[in-house]
Structure 1
Amino acid sequence: MDGAQSPVKGETLTFGHTIKPGAFIGLSLKNGLLNIITLTLYRFWGKTEVRRRVWSHITLNNEPFEYTGKGGELFRGFLIALLVLGVPYLALILAIQFVSPMFTLLMLPLYIAIIVLIGAAIFMTYRYMASRTVWRGVRFQLQGSASKFGWSYLGYTLLVMITLGWYAPAMSMRIAEKLWGGMSYGDQKLRWERSRKEGLYGPFALAWVAGMAGYGVLIAAIMPAVMNSMQSGTEPGATLFVKIYGYALLYTLFLVVATAPYHAAVMRTIAGSIRLGDAKFGIDIKAAPLIGLTLTNVLIMLLTLGFLTPVVMARTAKFMISRLSSAGEAPLADALQASRGPKTGEGLADAFDVSPF
């Protein structure tokens, strides 16, 4: 009909940020001092404040995100995780020491359970952070089962071990598919369509070979000093430990450089596989800038004994968002509100130190 307007399919997505890492120095010092005073218990509230500030400086179509999580939620999650993990583990150790060494047979099932719980912790962390991330008043959400994800994580981990690491790229993609494929903005689901513009096994092979070769060099460098100490019959001195840790540090720095092309390829592939409506995503990450970010972040952490962790988080978020792009349109205006999500935070992730942010 004359004058009729075609329905609006959606809107293009433009990401931006106003993150200034230097502005997080004061917050870093505050969190560090309060963590010392409270014997690290303040970390739940400190982490929440860092996320709230970072989220507020990230924009989509010039509108900021909002983080609505609370420190108390993280603390309650930690207490629950302490009961789930700490009590059974302590009971098993006491049983081995005071009842019977036969209880050591339960260590293998315990290790298997820990791997499953690590997987569940990863899923629960993403689910919690999604439910506390708001844009235009609408929450994100992650649907799925933490237990099923945990068992899948166990299977992937075993395959990585059996294949001496060669299943790792496939594991990364399968985990990303379960996480991002189950994510939605309100009721608008994200889709996972695996991007195959670049292979992962080429850069992974280079990283694997370099890592093995570097490890051989590390052992060859350390063993003479260790053997001399053993043959002399004297207690290991400070010089030996300095050598060991010095060589280990060099090996770690070598690994950062050797694995950067692979990690950059993984991030590009994950971003390129996510869809929302007709919108496709991409991230322009190359190995050299990633190496620079990683090494400077490590240096900041070492020189400040971890006090400037919020600065490192802000630098990382700025690095990622400034390289994130989208093409196509997404039906953001059609999104309906999602449920609030879990009542507690990522306690298991805090216990295993696997939180992504």
Structure 2
Amino acid sequence: MDHQQTGAGAAPASAFAPQGIDAHPLEFTGSGGEYFRVWIVNVLLTILTLGLYTPWARRRTAQYFYGHTLVAGSPLEFTAQQSSMVKGFIILVMLTIAYQIAVNTGQDTAVGVFLLVGALLSPFIWGSAMRFRLGSTRWRGLRLQFTASWREVYKASWPVFAIALVWFGVFFGIQYLAPESADALRELAADESGDADLPTMAAGIWGLIALGLLLSITCVIRLEFNYKSLLVLRAQVGSETGRWKPVYMDFVKIWLATVAVFILLVAVISAAMFGLVSAAITLVMRGDTSGPWMVILMAVSLFGGIFFLFMASAPARAYREARMFQLMWDNIGLSQVARFKCQLRTSSFMLLRIKNLFMTLLTLGLYRPFARVNEYRMKAESVTLHVKGGVDQVTSAMVRQQKEGGIGDALADAAGLDLIG
């Protein structure tokens, strides 16, 4: 039961004495048919209101999945105030419109200011959204909280600013080595028609861009690790805080494995398409072009190759999602009171994603709610909660702790907005 902290500091002490451990597998009681009714209403009303129904649709969706997720026999609750979700939606829409106006009217200075302010505010947006989401989650009268200070949030967000510095360096490096290439890249970025040709650049310039991409990906991985670890370690129920075991290299390994899976899938699909094309060419060389098999082979080679190469990333994304889910839920807990174990099978989740993808395409999107329920059920029901001393005793004690911190709850309500999807 007891895990020692390896990457993020020692686990916090608990107010509960060691006792027996009870296991409680999570359950999901929803169904695709039920959620389809929620989903289709959300889609129709969002279309009819030109997107204005979005915050209400998101709230109904969250309430459905929360309400049908049972933890130790009790459902989760999503208690977010609709007004906070609407305010966050309006803020994002207004900022997006203002940015698009600046881009379309050629106001380069304004665009630069928007990008700079966006980079500076992105940690605040993330922190506010996490505070809102955890503060809106209830279980057995217990409320989750995100207690990280803004200083901690901005400290964890350093990769955002590192990415900006990397690309400033890349641009000025190109400007120094080849000013004409920098001007061509600027024109390419400003072109909206897609007719501009890719500029001819020296190998050194391409190497500089490749280095920028590599450093950016490294920063993205680090940002994901920083945010996830901060979210867990600063999550709190009563006076009990989260416990975290993964280290940065765990995330790097998953990303590298995902790239390997994607390359393998592309290689297999390319080999299959090459075989079909070779068969078609062989028939042409033999002069056997009148039969229906020639038409079938040519059609499969053309459309099948384009389709499968386009969709090759879906199983790789499913692989990464499953591995990251396993890593998270197999290595986190709540102080010394509770921990989670995950038994999600990566291959099963990948096969489910592929099936859902084909069914969604075949039904022109109508299978999407069934696919979402199937994937959510597989992930949720792979998790087991292990609690020391019995659920009733532990939750009662944490409810008492929570009442003592009521002022902090009120502050959390005031500080959080639903600013990201």
Measure how far apart 1:256 and its partner are. Answer: 2.6
**Residue 229 (structure 1) aligns with:** none
**Residue 111 (structure 1) aligns with:** 115
**Residue 419 (structure 2) aligns with:** 348
Query: Is 2:240 the partner of 1:188?
Result: yes
Cα separation, partners in 2 of 1:246 and 1:77, compared to 1, 3 Å: farther
Task: Give a deviation string over 1:307-345, Cα, whole Å, max 9, x none.
Answer: 565444433331221001233528433221461534597
**Residue 17 (structure 1) aligns with:** 28
Indicate if the aligned counterparts of 1:191 and 1:276 stay in contact, CA closer than 8 A: yes
**Residue 136 (structure 2) aligns with:** 132
Question: Aligned partner of 2:136: which letter?
Answer: R
Q: Aligned ranges for residues 155-304 of structure 1 at < 5 Å?
A: 155=161, 161-163=213-215, 165-166=217-218, 168-194=220-246, 199-209=250-260, 211=262, 249-278=307-336, 279-303=338-362
> Which runs of no fewer than 5 residues in structure 2 stay unpaired?
1-15, 167-211, 274-300
Q: Per the alignment, in what secondary structure is the counterpart of residue 217 of structure 2?
A: coil
Give the TM-score of the pair, scaled to structure 1. Answer: 0.71
**Residue 282 (structure 2) aligns with:** none
Counterpart-to-counterpart distance in 1, 2:418 and 2:255:
32
Query: Is 2:395 the partner of 1:332?
Result: yes
Cα separation, partners in 2 of 1:139 and 1:248, compared to 1, 3 Å: farther
Counterpart-to-counterpart distance in 2, 1:149 and 1:17:
37
Counterpart-to-counterpart distance in 2, 1:142 and 1:261:
29
**Residue 40 (structure 1) aligns with:** 51
Indicate if the aligned counterparts of 2:340 and 2:383 stay in contact, CA closer than 8 A: yes
Measure how far apart 1:259 and its partner are. Answer: 4.8
Q: Select the structure of larger CA radius of gyration.
A: 2
Q: Which moved more, 1:18-27 or 1:141-150?
A: 141-150
Measure how far apart 1:63 and its partner are. Answer: 1.5
Cα separation, partners in 2 of 1:191 and 1:202, compared to 1, 3 Å: closer
Q: Which moved more, 1:184-193 or 1:115-124?
A: 115-124
Q: Which moved more, 1:158-167 or 1:140-149?
A: 158-167
Counterpart-to-counterpart distance in 2, 1:316 and 1:293:
7
Indicate if the aligned counterparts of 1:272 and 1:281 stay in contact, CA closer than 8 A: yes
Cα separation, partners in 2 of 1:126 and 1:298, compared to 1, 3 Å: farther
Counterpart-to-counterpart distance in 1, 2:132 and 2:306:
36
Task: Give a deviation string over 1:227-273, Cα, whole Å, max 9, x none.
Answer: xxxxxxxxxxxxxxxx9997564234322334544443322222233
Measure how far apart 1:183 and its partner are. Answer: 1.0
Measure how far apart 1:39 and its partner are. Answer: 2.0
Cα separation, partners in 2 of 1:35 and 1:199, compared to 1, 3 Å: closer
Counterpart-to-counterpart distance in 2, 1:288 and 1:69:
35
Measure how far apart 1:90 and its partner are. Answer: 2.6
Measure how far apart 1:134 and its partner are. Answer: 0.7
Measure how far apart 1:73 and its partner are. Answer: 2.8
**Residue 225 (structure 1) aligns with:** none
Cα separation, partners in 2 of 1:17 and 1:45, compared to 1, 3 Å: same
Indicate if the aligned counterparts of 2:156 and 2:223 stay in contact, CA closer than 8 A: no
How many residues get paired?
316
Counterpart-to-counterpart distance in 1, 2:60 and 2:124:
25
Indicate if the aligned counterparts of 2:159 and 2:220 stay in contact, CA closer than 8 A: no
Identity, % of aligned pairs?
Answer: 16
**Residue 298 (structure 2) aligns with:** none
Measure how far apart 1:67 and its partner are. Answer: 1.2
Measure how far apart 1:87 and its partner are. Answer: 2.8
Question: Aligned partner of 1:256: which letter?
Answer: A
Counterpart-to-counterpart distance in 1, 2:221 and 2:40:
38
Indicate if the aligned counterparts of 2:72 and 2:385 stay in contact, CA closer than 8 A: no
Cα separation, partners in 2 of 1:108 and 1:255, compared to 1, 3 Å: same
Q: Per the alignment, in what secondary structure is the counterpart of residue 348 of structure 1?
A: coil
Question: Aligned partner of 2:65: which letter?
Answer: V
> Which runs of no fewer than 5 residues in structure 1 stay unpaired?
1-6, 97-102, 222-242, 350-354
Q: Aligned ranges for residues 48-59 of structure 1 at < 5 Å?
A: 48-59=59-70
Pairwise CA RMSD of aligned residues?
Answer: 4.0
Counterpart-to-counterpart distance in 2, 1:157 and 1:293:
35
Give the TM-score of the pair, scaled to structure 2. Answer: 0.62
**Residue 68 (structure 1) aligns with:** 79
Question: Aligned partner of 1:207: which letter?
Answer: T
Aligned pair partner of 2:376 in 317, 336, 342: 317
Q: Per the alignment, in what secondary structure is the counterpart of residue 419 of structure 2?
A: helix
Q: Per the alignment, in what secondary structure is the counterpart of residue 40 of structure 1?
A: coil
Q: Which moved more, 1:140-149 or 1:281-290?
A: 140-149
